[in-house]
Amino acid sequence: MKAIAAREGSIVRIDVEEPDLLDGHVLIRTEYSAISPGTELTMANRSKDKPIGLGYSAVGIIEKVGKAVTSLHPGQRVAC
């Protein structure tokens, strides 16, 4: 999986492992995410060698649903 992160003073695209899917949660393949220049640049300036994930107010497609998720299904477009 890919993610946008602040690391060592820059905004970078990094590879991340797919998270474990918890009961009641969904895995979403993000298509678009808001990135606020002020917040993200501040995080970039404060970042060190450990990446800090960026982005919020996203839209994407559900890839997987966890146990007990009944009103959402894979392939559904959602805002999150």
Q: Is residue 78 part of a domain?
A: no
Q: Is residue 34 part of a domain?
A: yes
Q: Is residue 79 part of a domain?
A: no
Instruction: Calculate ∠ Cα 19-49-44, nearest 5°.
Output: 90
Q: Is residue 80 part of a domain?
A: no
Q: Is residue 12 part of a domain?
A: yes
- Whether the per-residue pLDDT at 74 is higher than 90: the answer is yes
Nearest to 18 by CA among 30, 7, 10: 30
DSSP 48: -
User: Over the stretch 25-42, which tens digit does the pLDDT of each residue have?
Assistant: 999 999 998 888 888 888
Instruction: Read off the pTM.
Output: 0.78
Q: Is residue 77 part of a domain?
A: no
The count of domains in the chain is 1
Q: Is residue 19 part of a domain?
A: yes
Q: Is residue 53 part of a domain?
A: yes
Instruction: Give the structural domain span for 44.
Output: 2-71
